Amino acid sequence: MREAWRCLLGLCLLARSASPASPHGAANPFAGQQIPPDPCYDDAGAARRCIPEFINAAFGKEVAVSSVCGWPTSSRSCSMICDAADPWRAHPPSYLTDLNSAHNLTCWQSENLHTSPNNVNLTLSLGKKFEITYVSLQFCSPRPESLAIYKSMDYGKSWTPYQYYSSQCRRIYNRPNKAAITKQNEQEALCTDGHTDLYPLSGGLIAFSTLDGRPSGKDFDNSPVLQDWVSVTDIRVVLSRPQLPREIGTGEGAGIGGGGQPDEDPMVPSTPLPAYFYAVGDFQVGGRCKCNGHASRCLKDKEGKLVCDCKHNTEGPECDHCKPFHCDRPWQRASAREANECLRESQVYSAFSICFDCSFRFCAFPLFSLSYFPLFIFGINSLLLTLVG
């Protein structure tokens, strides 16, 4: 009788476990949830190009500046006092990349320039290689008369000119003003006098588009030159010369420099000024984490470094080479037409295929692959006949 009750109890428990859970009962909170589709593969599981989301890569990152007001002692600009030791009166570099809006206007400010060099550097490290679309700065002071943007692809070890702005391009940067862009110079820094006006006195914008006007920009997938051009690990902005407006309403030729002689530089005051500085409210770098079309996102590794979450049998910080034993065709960047995923040897060659030095993106055709064995024998026979003959 006890055995019968045990069997009946077992059947009841089995039926209970097999029946659907009550909507009011304790159910698995993740039941019914589906794993979101992987953007790197289509519905049929075939590989396709995928890219990380477009972001402001500068947001929240630290900017190294060569000058900041109120340090080591407080300073006065117009009626305002800047004191780096007082949070209410400080204008630190963190204000360059914080959340900026009309209701939260914060500005970094340099030292008074009549007591320090005119050149002030803003250096931003992105922590990883990005493909950037624009660099922009919104000023709380008048925009500089001359400004240069540089880029680095090796984490600040070397720098390449990216763009120049000046009302005197030839004099300041030894570049022509608004030179024509062709396929021969589309990877070179140009100079323009745009965005160098004195007005507005505050809120002026300087925005550099990395691909605007570049002839190969419309065929970016097939332009290694421009792919390299937009690749950046660090950005440096050099504020070279500030605006020094001439006094208004004092007659022609009158100004800060005095008599307005042609030999005088209007950008250098003859007398000290109470307010003579750079101030920037927003520093943005728009772009995507560089993954060569083989990842849809970037993650931080165990060391806290930003790396691509690589797919398509690729690996590396930028998914820039094939995984070991996936080198049956050379690594390629993904495009809109082709995912160019890395393939295992077994997908193309025989079981005797061997991949050499896969980790360095180099795949040699195997010496003893069956498909190449006849050619190998033919070559040996030819060599022997030559030696004997």
For the segment 183-218, what is each residue's pLDDT rounded down to a tens digit? 999 999 999 999 888 888 888 999 999 999 999 999
Asked whether residue 291 carries a pLDDT value surpassing 90, the answer given is yes
Asked whether residue 13 carries a pLDDT value surpassing 70, the answer given is no
> Average pLDDT over the chain, rounded to whole?
78
Tens of pLDDT, residue by residue over 208-260, are: 999 999 999 999 999 999 999 999 999 999 999 998 755 323 333 333 223 33
The CATH number that applies at residue 169 is: 2.60.120.260
Q: Does one domain contain both 311 and 372?
A: yes
Asked whether residue 268 carries a pLDDT value surpassing 70, the answer given is no
Structural domains in the chain (count) = 2
Asked whether residue 148 carries a pLDDT value surpassing 50, the answer given is yes
Buried b (16+ CB within 10 A) or exposed e, 106-139: bbbbbbbbeeeebebebbbbbbbbbbbbebbbbb
pLDDT of residue 233: 98
80 vs 240, which has greater pLDDT? Answer: 240
156 vs 84, which has greater pLDDT? Answer: 156
User: What are φ and ψ of residue 211, in 5° steps?
Assistant: -110, -10
Q: Does one domain contain both 170 and 149?
A: yes
Asked whether residue 108 carries a pLDDT value surpassing 90, the answer given is yes
pLDDT of residue 86: 73
Asked whether residue 137 carries a pLDDT value surpassing 80, the answer given is yes
CB 240 within 8 A of CB 233: no
% the chain with pLDDT above 70 = 68
Q: Does one domain contain both 187 and 234?
A: yes
Of the residues 230, 254, 289, which one is the last residue of a structural domain? 289
The residue-averaged pLDDT of 278-303 equals 96
Q: Does one domain contain both 77 and 218?
A: yes
Asked whether residue 360 carries a pLDDT value surpassing 50, the answer given is no
The CATH number that applies at residue 361 is: 2.10.25
pLDDT of residue 81: 73
pLDDT of residue 276: 80
pLDDT band at 349 (very low <50, low <70, confident <90, very high): very low
State the residue for tokens 């809120």. 203
Instruction: Provide the domain limits for residue 217.
Output: 55-243+273-289
Nearest one of 80, 226, 208 to 135, comparing CA atoms: 208
Question: How many angstroms separate the CA atoms of 328 and 364, rounded?
Answer: 9
pLDDT of residue 385: 54
Q: Does one domain contain both 278 and 314?
A: no
Question: How many angstroms separate the CA atoms of 233 and 162, rounded?
Answer: 13
pLDDT of residue 200: 87
- Is-above-0.85 flag for pTM? no
Question: How many angstroms separate the CA atoms of 7 and 336, rounded?
Answer: 62
